[in-house]
Structure 1
Amino acid sequence: MSQSRAEVGLRVVHRRYVPYSHAHYAGNLVDGAYSLGLFGDVATEMCIVTDGDEGLFASYADVQFREPVRAGDVLEISCEVTRVGTRSRDLTFEVRVVARGTATAEQPGAARVLAEPLVATTATGTVVVP
């Protein structure tokens, strides 16, 4: 195995459209577990980029659900390295809503890019790599 490329400040960013099939609640709300799954995806890419391995998620801390995530949203999910240990890395996560569906009966596919993204979910976590 080659030496780790992990360094504080390294970021990985994904974008994802939230399909209507993921809405579970009134108002097309999506459950908070959806964001946690996205955090797992960016953490996996981070481990691959830094250590050539998918790694293992060890823990989440300080998960905050700040704004709703709705079906029809376009999300930006970011992961940043905040600490590098011998085998562990501390990461910060953020889900931002960058576009939102605005469907009406007359325009069922309407959507708009938000002038200011909404920070929907934040967390910190620790991953372990071999």
Structure 2
Amino acid sequence: MSWMLFQQVLQGTESAHRAHAQRRAAPRFQWMTVTVDACHAHLVRRAVAACAQAVIERCAPQKDHRVRLLIRFDAGHAADVMHEVLRSVPSGEVGCVVSGMPQSTASFFSSSLVPH
């Protein structure tokens, strides 16, 4: 094998490894929380249902007659989901958009859950 051919093969292998690492590093999903009055939770559910790339993963009650919903959506669609939610709910709080949630989302809601 000639030296030039060896370098071409080596460069091709390195670029293939780089491309694979970039694919693995790219987040597939993102999450955000929305906190609304309990009577408006159905409006958030309808708004999320209107987005084909989004689902509600959790809905946790809070002490003040409010609920916190954890919404998962495909990476890059935060603006679409946020637009639908803001358009359909009269008031509430939108949390930050997060890529790469911890394995257990229970800790994500632990501070806001109503004690049993």
TM-score by length of 2: 0.26
Of Structure 1 and Structure 2, which has the larger fraction of its residues in strand?
A: 1
User: Based on CA coordinates, which of the two structures has the bigger radius of gyration?
Assistant: 2
Of Structure 1 and Structure 2, which has the larger fraction of its residues in helix?
A: 2
